């Protein structure tokens, strides 16, 4: 029996695939981590193809940066929020109590798992159609062919251009409730007594903030 899911809009011939995609590992052994693995690969492929066709004159670097922008954790979490997936997640009581259904990492993983569920249920064409519908607002918002390099990449290129060693990143603190943690990361340069601190809701983004702060210091004129 075909069952149309009201949020994804896909008609599942095997609803158990969607049920598993919405199940966090804290809820039991039939969780969504394997689907997440497959969905990640499918998402990257679909995003890459969409950008390749949409931006015929963009070079590899611009396409790579744009794809990274589309599939980053916070962007996928926003897709999940637009679909209101949080309330539909099956989670263990501890994870639910700590606000796991609102956490970016959990929401992003769920989006990837649902992508895999649709693919396993109906094949690549059906999966591609749904994913492109989800990504369209974000693709349309990208500046064509001119997505800025992230701070860590720009810092690395700046240092390499000066024949200097690469920066080092260290997690120095985490604080806050489980569902709203703040990560503090220190960026240091091995060949200089210089450090910059970045803070954000994920370690990855905190590293980006620290790299940005370090780059601002390096590029600032010094007397």
- The phi, psi pair for 82, rounded to 5°, reads -60, -35
Question: Residue 223 has what pLDDT?
Answer: 46
pTM: 0.68
Give per-residue pLDDT as tens, 72-103. Answer: 888 899 999 998 898 889 888 887 777 877 88
Spatial CB neighbours of 194, under 8 Å, sequence gap ≥ 6: 188, 214, 217
Which long-range contacts (C-beta less than 8 Å, at least 24 apart) are formed by 204-207?
204/73, 205/74, 206/171, 207/152, 207/169
* Residues comprising the chain, all counted: 223
Q: Is the pLDDT of residue 40 over 70?
A: yes
* Active site positions, annotated: 40, 112
Average of per-residue pLDDT across 160-188: 87
Mean pLDDT, residues 199-208: 86
User: Has residue 65 got a pLDDT over 90?
Assistant: no
Q: What is the domain class of 151-219 according to CATH? A: alpha beta
Instruction: Tell me the H-state helices in the chain.
Output: 15-21, 33-54, 60-71, 73-82, 93-97, 104-122, 124-141, 151-161, 203-219
Q: Other CB atoms closer than 10 Å to residue 145's CB: what's the count?
A: 17
Domain boundaries, the chain: 3-141, 151-219
CATH topology of domain 3-141: Ribonuclease iii, N-terminal Endonuclease Domain; Chain A (1.10.1520)
Per-residue pLDDT tens over the stretch 6-30: 677 888 999 999 999 999 988 878 8
pLDDT digits over 109-162, tens only? Answer: 999 999 999 999 999 999 999 999 999 988 888 876 556 678 888 898 889 888
| Structure-token pair, residue 216 | 């601002």
């Amino acid at each position: 029996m075909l069952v149309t899911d009201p949020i994804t809009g896909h008609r599942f011939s095997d609803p158990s695939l969607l049920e598993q995609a919405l199940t966090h590992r804290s809820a039991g052994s039939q969780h969504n981590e394997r689907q997440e693995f497959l969905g990640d690969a499918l998402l990257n492929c679909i995003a890459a193809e969409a950008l390749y066709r949409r931006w015929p004159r963009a070079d590899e670097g611009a396409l790579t940066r744009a794809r990274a922008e589309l599939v980053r954790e916070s962007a996928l979490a926003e897709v999940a929020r637009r679909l209101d997936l949080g309330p539909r997640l099956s989670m263990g009581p501890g994870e639910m109590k700590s606000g796991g259904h609102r956490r970016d990492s959990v929401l992003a993983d769920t989006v990837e798992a649902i992508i895999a569920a649709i693919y396993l249920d109906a094949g690549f064409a059906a999966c591609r159609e749904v994913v492109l519908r989800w990504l369209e607002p974000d693709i349309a918002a990208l500046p064509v062919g001119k997505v800025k390099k992230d701070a860590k990449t720009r810092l690395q290129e700046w240092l390499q251009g000066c024949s200097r060693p690469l920066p080092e990143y260290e997690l120095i603190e985490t604080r806050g409730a489980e569902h709203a943690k703040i990560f503090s990361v220190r960026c240091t340069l091995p060949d200089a007594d210089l450090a910059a601190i970045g803070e954000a809701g994920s370690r990855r983004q905190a590293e980006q903030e620290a790299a940005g702060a370090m780059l601002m210091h390096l590029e600032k004129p010094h007397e």
